Structure 1
Amino acid sequence: MRAARFHATQDIRIEDIPAPELKRGHVAIDVGWCGICGSDLHEYLEGPIIIPPAGQPHPISGEEAPITMGHEFSGTVTAVADDVDDLTPGQKVVIEPYIIGDDVPTDDPEVDYQLSPNMNFIGLGGRGGGFSEKVVVARRWVHPIADHVGLDEAALIEPLAVGYHAYRKSRARAGDVALIGGAGPIGLLTAAVLKAEGVDVYISEISEGRKAKARETGVADEVFDPREVDVVEEVSRLTGGKGADVAFECTSVGQVLNTLIAAVKPAGVVVNVSIWGHKPEVDLQNLVLREVEIIGSAAYAHDHPTVISMVEDGKIDLAPFITGRIGLDDLVDKGFDQLINNNDEHVKILVSPTL
């Protein structure tokens, strides 16, 4: 089968590799669509980061570069192991793409399994990936979806779960006001979750294309350009001097983080969703004197079933966030390069291994 394999920095190759074999407790899947994630771009430009380098196999998967990439994917079941009795060939599914040790009780709702030792992701740490024609995944990580949900939209359920997990961590409630720093894919999808839960959403963003997307999708009640207005003053004005109840950092920009700290109410909550490649300077004095709480939000745990229901029930429409569809051969030129050099025009580019 054909697959996109990470070998080294800016070295991703479309190769023919053996199709994975079905084994006990697993499900065989034909990949439908796979989204390109920001972490994929970081691996391409600067990696290996999460991908285990050649000569340093991952302690759980046992794999090392070259690695098949892609972790935001959907597909169709083609076969199930003899001990899997609750999925059938032909079903649409999405993948919760974790690589987690067998000793972690992932079915226990009290366990934050995304924080377990040596956790990694299918499509980054091994075990195949969505930038390939076929994949075999442990049943635990395979979630069925309704037939009326397109496989293209279903590929966005994984990043949507990131936004939903951040929402849960924030403890926001219907009627609250949220401020989001950044209208990239995670910022927009977090906004979609918040709106679906009855939260008023303000977004701060400088990109013209992303500001337009926030407005046209209806996920933001207000969109601010910090080059044109004082975001803290605008939030204060719109909330009658109170400030936002919660805020979400989705840019990895220190100035944005400090703006959010200043824009939330005293004892407000700032959820950091970003992965940082540097150590930001944080206005700790403002944070301490106003007792602002900063919470880290890492990926998701036990969130996929709820997120899938939200999409199936029509509470969230994912179609408007898809801004490109390409085949596997165009992954770098029309996928990675577009998102790196023309990200103003794109939210999520999807890849089909059979297009």
Structure 2
Amino acid sequence: MWTRMRPPNLRTFLCLLAFTVLVGAHRGGAVKWLALYRRAHRPWSTTRNCSRSSGLASRQLRLCRDNLELMPTVVHSALVGMETCQNQFRDWRWNCSSVLAVPNLNNDLIRGTREQAYVYGISSAALVHSVSRACSIGLTSKCSCGPLPRPIDEPEEDFKWGGCGDDVTFGLSFGEQFTDATLVNKKGRVKQSKKAMMNRHNFRVGREIVKSSLGRACKCHGVSGSCAQRTCWKALPDFEVIGAKLRERYKRTVEVKRKRKKSGGSKSLVPKRPGRSQFRQDELVHYERSPDYCSPDDKTGSVGTEGRQCTVGTRDRGSCESMCCGRGQHNYTQVVTERCGCKYFWCCYVECKTCTKVLQLNRCR
């Protein structure tokens, strides 16, 4: 016997709608932990700080409680990753500004674009870099100096290995645990969706870039500052160097598709371009093509370039011709007052003049 179902009342409908929005808001949230940047200047002394409001997934909450002394470093990495992303793309149409909205994610960071690929790569790299540095400068008892090269690796140059190198081995291990914890379902199984596979790979690319960037830093020893002898250790470069390397990967991101393997039932990501069978482990991948980011579009996450500053007379990415997408620009002047001609007087004060500059600026229409 069939029974007639009552239509849901308004209250029930609104609850269902709110639930749908909530579930949708958590899709593609593997970098929501970047919201920790808002805690950059707060003390981190209790496990009460480990909360979902910080953008942490359930498995990240466990890591947070078990590694509380590392969390200020994780917070620092979130801030560094976001600042570096915006700095690397400050003159591009897409300028990484949407990452400031975390834990909310705009469509440019959940649709599988090359921009999403870069954010996942830079966030993973920033975490490894920050933790590795924290080890070598003694900010945590979880790790210490990185291992010295083996005697067989001793070069013929006039220096000795010593000092305290960045512990990239620990940084890589913790970084993978923390970022990839977002790519496991409630049953503990690794997610196998196309988006999860892409994000997992791009997380790995970020770690690989840091690993391959480990170089040598040295200190001179000798009379009157001479360099008669040097002590060297393994050290990472400034993070902007790694951000620039990832930006080069961004420009050559490989478009992929998911394909079932011939040998079994599992699927893998393969290049979409005919004639190419695979991509390298240090190449970023995406599966959705990016818009031109010229005009606002909620569907793609584009905020447009109206009002962005640009430069006249060049053909670089920050030029008005490129940035304004053919719409032209407004020209205006801005008066800036600053200190200049400063002189130091012994002892002990500085006198400066006040200079005024008139800047000729341009903004996209």
> Is the TM value for this pair above 0.5?
no
- Of Structure 1 and Structure 2, the greater strand share is in 1
Higher relative contact order (CA 8 A, sep 6+): 1
**Greater fraction of residues in helix:** 2
**If the length of structure 1 is used for normalisation, what is the TM-score?**
0.27
TM-score by length of 2: 0.26
